[in-house]
Chain A
Amino acid sequence: GAVVSQHPSWVICKSGTSVKIECRSLDFQATTMFWYRQFPKQSLMLMATSNEGSKATYEQGVEKDKFLINHASLTLSTLTVTSAHPEDSSFYICSAPGTYQETQYFGPGTRLLVL
């Protein structure tokens, strides 16, 4: 089946630094990818829709200048958390639409801890 990978799986950084998270579709192409955020014991919340070759679409309340998304190719989308602060610590998950049962394939997630 289709596989989506994320890198890194775990990152710890100092407050004020920027962190880049990669999301790759390994054996299929994805013109669209989704980025979610999950706080402990909370739902996955959609942050933005990443579109290959065009600007990302952000959900209400998500700062586009804080969370930069670049969909550089049909198999790669990146999320950069700029000037990270402790409140940005969370679990970030990406997904890409697939053809099987018209559903999405999810990456394993990236846990970010900002000190």
Chain B
Amino acid sequence: GNSVTQMEGPVTLSEEAFLTINCTYTATGYPSLFWYVQYPGEGLQLLLKATKADDKGSNKGFEATYRKETTSFHLEKGSVQVSDSAVYFCALSAVTGANSKLTFGKGITLSVRP
């Protein structure tokens, strides 16, 4: 079956540090890949997505590239801010479309110190 593996957390960084959060997946076919973010007290929000190999999703300074050869979708940001403190979830869906089921990783908590 499909699965998503995220690096263990939590992660604590100083403001303006470089961020990498690793995510690898197992799936048949060509899944769509997502990063969701959950700020304190709020629901999960889509951060970025990629639907095919070598696609790069980007938003709010975050980037992730769909690497089929390494089955990875690592999240990066060059300079984190305190406001980036949240829980980040990597996810996949086997088919495109909002009605498709999502498979999530465990999530990782990011704390950014001023």
A44 to B105, CA, bound (A): 8
B52 contacts the other chain (CB 8 A) = no
Question: Between A and B, how many residue pairs show CB distances below 8 Å?
Answer: 57
Q: Do B99 and A108 have beta carbons less than 8 Å apart?
A: no
Q: Mark A87-115, 1 if CB is under 8 A from B, else 0.
A: 00000010101111111111111000000
Q: Do B99 and A109 have beta carbons less than 8 Å apart?
A: no
A4 to B98, CA, bound (A): 15
Range class of the B interface residue count: 20 to 34
A49 CB, min distance to chain B CBs, angstroms: 8
Range class of the A interface residue count: 20 to 34
> Which residues of A have CB within 8 Å of B80?
none
A102 to B106, CA, bound (A): 22
A4 to B106, CA, bound (A): 22
- Pick from B46, B99, B104: contact of A101, CB under 8 Å: B46
Query: Could you list which residues of chain A lie within 8 angstroms of chain B, going by C-beta atoms?
Result: 4, 32, 34, 36, 41-46, 49, 93, 95, 97-109
